[in-house]
Structure 1
């Protein structure tokens, strides 16, 4: 209002009276920061905030900061545009049968019979997972949510198919889970650990991947279903009160698992202190012997657990 504008000249005069000091400090190249406070208001002026912080930057620092902001803005815009184009390219790649590239000329080769077979095998999966949004959207949260949805959906489908297979061949649910379901759910982690061993400097990423994935399977894979079931039986109208699950036939299998796990840990310690490497070794023979030994331990566990 009119009273608010009347107080401005007084403030301007006060700043101009110190303009020489302000100019000298700003010319030194050091950012100048000070507080501005309105103390005497006239003609009924009303302000909600009477104090503010003022920063005076030299022109070079200001231009440098603006250049950084513009570069970041252009990068963000480019990533958004690239994300849209890359998402569309995923569907084009999934629907197109193509061959490899010539290493010498870089030209695209015509598809071979092997390319056609792999195209038919992976067509359904590539089209389906092409619907996962780009990681640039919503800081990756949308891609994470859709990926988790696909994982949950196919985990449920795989569990039902495993039950049908076990019923067809005469295996119990526990035997089917140990012999087949566990293999299917562990293969992705196996490939990730294999890549970690080949490309990382030490064995920590591979071991952390194995222990971390199994921790998720035990604590989250069992904890969340138990929590949901307990809440349903306690709160839902159709619930039966307390949620109790009787002990099954996995007691001996768990004891056997602890035994073979101790053997595997002892074998890894032997490799670390005697062979000198958690994975691999000084020769291909050491690697092959280690792989064969741990594979034999796993096969023995599956065979014995399925016969208990």
Structure 2
């Protein structure tokens, strides 16, 4: 009994208060929790997943479901809609579905990524892209022939514009989502490299092999290629100069920056594109003389001048031989 510690009145009071603060069981020892789904929160999460492209991961596993979604009119996706109720399609949704149902069904032909670990989706997508590219090229050629445009003008205006619009939107998305401008600018240079090296290289290789097997040669006339490539190189040099200038501290980088610099850069690049189309079209219709014709004319003048100078030199060298006789 002597070993029991003795507490003062203050310590006894503190101990009593501490004992009162301990958790104890109340009247109700059981609790039932019911979790209800919030449609508003679900819609918000779905929109965030779609924006971050995670919808591809949790996409449809059924090929049949893709076709069902392609032929079904669905309401447009609006970020301003916060209600959890399902919105019915509007008149605009029906009009857009009627205009795009062909493309929806065509893209539904691409199998889901679950088939063959995504390889089926990859190869069939490449095949469909190649077929659409061939169709677009033929349609542009027929359109240019119908309205009286040359193939070179049709190529630099309609074909190039049609094939570059997806790259433009991809660069815009990359510029908005990425911290740096590498993805957006690299997408432009990479797509051009694929078009030039892979697109032209594969097509010309197949044509050259085919005509070689036929015992003939595959010949492609230069046409206005020298003028277009030289003009494009000059404008590309100007474009890269502007991008390098925009690296200054008061601008901030290749993309973005103050409003005045953004508008000036956009207007300058649009003017380069417009001037490229204008000069290429004028050269194709012989309103201005191309580099090939100019160089050919200069070579012709140089060759004629060289021949006249050579004839004059021969005449002046042979003339003294008629006047004097050399006796040994």
- TM-score (structure 1 length as normaliser): 0.69
2:277: which partner in 1? 302
Q: Is residue 225 of structure 2 the alignment partner of residue 250 of structure 1?
A: yes
For residues 259 and 280 of structure 1, the distance between their equivalents in structure 2, rounded to whole angstroms, comes to: 24
- For 2:238 and 2:206, the matched residues in 1 are separated by 36
Structure 2 distance, partners of 1:81, 1:306, is 48
**Shift in Å at residue 155 of structure 1?**
0.9
- Structure 1 residue 249, shift from structure 2 partner: 2.0
Deviates more, 1:106-115 or 1:142-151: 106-115
Which stretch shifts more, 253-262 or 175-184?
253-262
State the match for 2:65 in structure 1. 89
TM-score with structure 2 setting the length: 0.65
Deviation at 1:173, TM superposition (A): 0.4
1:278 aligns with 2:254: yes
Residue equivalent to 2:131: 153
Contiguous gaps of at least 5 residues in structure 2: 1-55, 284-328
* 4+ residue runs over 4 A deviation: 79-83
Partner of 2:38: none
2:118 to 132, 140, 143: 140
In structure 1, runs of 5+ residues without a counterpart are 1-78
SS at match of 1:134: coil
Query: How far 1:80 moved relative to its partner?
Result: 12
- Equivalent residue for 2:243, pick from 268, 276, 289: 268
Write the deviation string for residues 64-99 of structure 1: whole angstroms up to 9, x where unpaired: xxxxxxxxxxxxxxx9997533x3332222111122
Q: Distance in 2 between matches of 1:271 and 1:138?
A: 46
Q: Does 1:233 align with 2:207?
A: no
Looking at structure 1, the residues matched to 245 and 232 of structure 2 have their Cα atoms a distance apart, in angstroms, of 20
Quick check: 1:186 aligned with 2:177?
Answer: no
Residue 306 of structure 1 and its aligned partner are, at CA, apart by 0.8
| Offset at residue 132 of structure 1 (A) | 0.4
Q: d(CA) in 2 for partners of 1:80 and 1:205? A: 22
Asked if 1 retains the 8 angstrom alpha-carbon contact of 2:61 and 2:114, the reply is no
Deviations 1:218-263 (Å, cap 9, x if unpaired)?
A: 000111011111111122xxx2333232322221111111111111
Aligned length: 225
SS at match of 2:74: coil
